Amino acid sequence: MINLIACVTTFKNRLAIGRNCDLLFKLKDDLQFFKNITKDSLSKNSKLDKNVVLMGRKTWFSIPQKYRPLNNRINLVLTNDRQLITPIPKNLDLSKSNSYFITMETFWKIYDKYTPNVFVIGGSGIYNYFLSNRSEAFIDRIYLTEVKTENGNNVKFDKENEPDTFMDNPDSTFKLIGYSEKYYQDNLSYRILTYKNTGKESEEKKYLDYMKYILDNGNARDDRTGTGTISVFGNQMRFDISQSIPLMTTKRVPFKTIVLELLWMLRGDTDAKILERKGIKIWSGNTSREFLDSRGLEHYEEGILGAGYGFQYRHFGANYSQTFGDTSKIDTGLIGGIDQLKYVEDLLKNDPFSRRIMISAWNPSDFKKTALVPCHYSIQFYVTEEKGERYLSCMFIMRSSDVFLAANFNVIFYTILTYILAKKYNMRPKEVIYISGDGHIYQNHISQVKEQLTRTRRPFPKLKLDDSIITKQWNEITEDDFELIGYHPNEAIKAPMAI
């Protein structure tokens, strides 16, 4: 077994591991974990009675002299400096010492003879060798201590203390299989993440194959926005959400924005200025003064969506008024209509195997009362039972899907909703299914799509919900109730939204 172990933080979209040949952080629980796992996790296949810690010369000399070699472990130090190399008998007997300076060629001879449990502990060149030379270097597991600020943001550094040493990201054949409790120290928080090499690519390939299919087979069409699209009709993507969430890694997707839009809709809000005050402007174009006037909604204040998603979810069939835009300012019990979200909750609680656990945002009688007719218009939930445990899946249908900007956004939107409902009703999330009618790429997104198709996929993250969600009302849930764990995507790709 070959394992990588590192303490990292995200800096300028890279995994930073050090500065000036030293660690960025010295964290008590991380150092204890490092000591325990490198000493005690012996492999039954190893012909050695100790684990191997493999490192580069700079890493060796960065360890304080009083701690070298790391005790109860065989320390192998890779170097090309012939003057440092330790003479080893031809039979590769390692019983004379706990530390050896060797070449990579010698390491592989040792590995072939003893099949030891190896922990690669740095530096960046050694990490990246094992991450990139996958045909000869099979990594079984990666242990990453992911460091953030106390409130979960990326760590900021003074200019003179910025990291200068980085490691490559694992590709998507590694799956995030577990994480530790959250530790706190020195205004920082951190979790220890465990990745397993499955040898299989992640389901992100489904997104990329769909975009490539549209480019290769789509029809050029005019559209409502006047931008022009390449379009196909009638496609499905299924994603396993039981262990991770299918958040794209070939470009950064704004997870917090998805959470806040979802909560906005689930409360029944229809005033986009609520989102704008949090820095989210995804609805600003479709609720601008100019756009509202073009829809014959001159009487709406700027920012008002009208009888759209949130209103249909919580008050289907009621008469809409723009005074309902911010539900925190009104008694929603007086609005009336059918609360479809409550209807779904009642069925999940009392009749979970019903075939009617659905929400519809498609209400033609209200089309003239909304700035934008819903794109994702039908949601259905499905419960299965296996070995006494219940699992919740969600299928949603798009009449129109902007595949580059919005498809993944929508998938994660309904993934989070499925997680919330599963949490509330003692189930486990299982699958989310995306179905599109008109799936399209806008003409002014083609170069961005082609760039994304060249990028390497990385492991999907996990989503953790706070237990308080179980008893919270929808208007009490906040973005702080959600933690995204292990999300290390490629950088964002910007593209204009068609209005």
Claim to verify: residue 187 and residue 247 sit in the same structural domain: no
Claim to verify: residue 11 and residue 65 sit in the same structural domain: yes
Angle between helices 446-453 and 204-217 (to 10 degrees): 130
| Residue 364 maps to a domain | yes
Nearest to 494 by CA among 459, 454, 444, 455: 444
Q: Which H/E stretch holds residue 289?
A: helix 289-294
Claim to verify: residue 114 and residue 52 sit in the same structural domain: yes
The predicted model gives 82-110 an average pLDDT of 94
Residues carrying an active site annotation: 375
Claim to verify: residue 276 and residue 422 sit in the same structural domain: yes
Claim to verify: residue 109 and residue 249 sit in the same structural domain: no
- Taken as a whole, the chain contains a residue count of 499
Claim to verify: residue 125 and residue 211 sit in the same structural domain: no
What's the total number of domains in the chain? 2
Give 386-409 pLDDT, tens digit per residue.
Answer: 999 999 999 999 999 999 999 999
Give 225-238 pLDDT, tens digit per residue.
Answer: 999 999 999 999 99
Give 25-70 pLDDT, tens digit per residue.
Answer: 999 999 999 999 999 888 888 999 999 999 999 999 999 999 999 9
Claim to verify: residue 393 and residue 338 sit in the same structural domain: yes
| Residue 495 maps to a domain | no
First to last CA, the chain: 53
| Residue 68 maps to a domain | yes
DSSP string, 355-386: S--EEE---GGGGGGBSS--SEEEEEEEEEEE
Read off the CATH number of the domain in which 150 is found: 3.40.430.10
Residue 58 phi/psi, 5° resolution? -65, -40
Read off the CATH number of the domain in which 429 is found: 3.30.572.10
Claim to verify: residue 189 and residue 208 sit in the same structural domain: no
Confidence band for 285, pLDDT divided at 50, 70 and 90: very high
**Euclidean distance between CA atoms 194 and 174, whole angstroms:** 10
| Residue 256 maps to a domain | yes
Spatial CB neighbours of 269, under 8 Å, sequence gap ≥ 6: 310, 325, 326, 327
Claim to verify: residue 311 and residue 426 sit in the same structural domain: yes
- Which tokens sit at 253? 């997707």
| Residue 493 maps to a domain | no
Claim to verify: residue 160 and residue 235 sit in the same structural domain: no
Buried b (16+ CB within 10 A) or exposed e, 359-379: bbbebeebeebbbbbbbbbbb
pTM score of the predicted model: 0.95
Task: Provide the residue range defining the domain that includes 473.
Answer: 204-485
Claim to verify: residue 452 and residue 476 sit in the same structural domain: yes
**Euclidean distance between CA atoms 194 and 176, whole angstroms:** 6
Claim to verify: residue 65 and residue 7 sit in the same structural domain: yes
- Which region holds residue 242: left if phi is over 0, alpha if psi is between -120 and 50, else beta? alpha
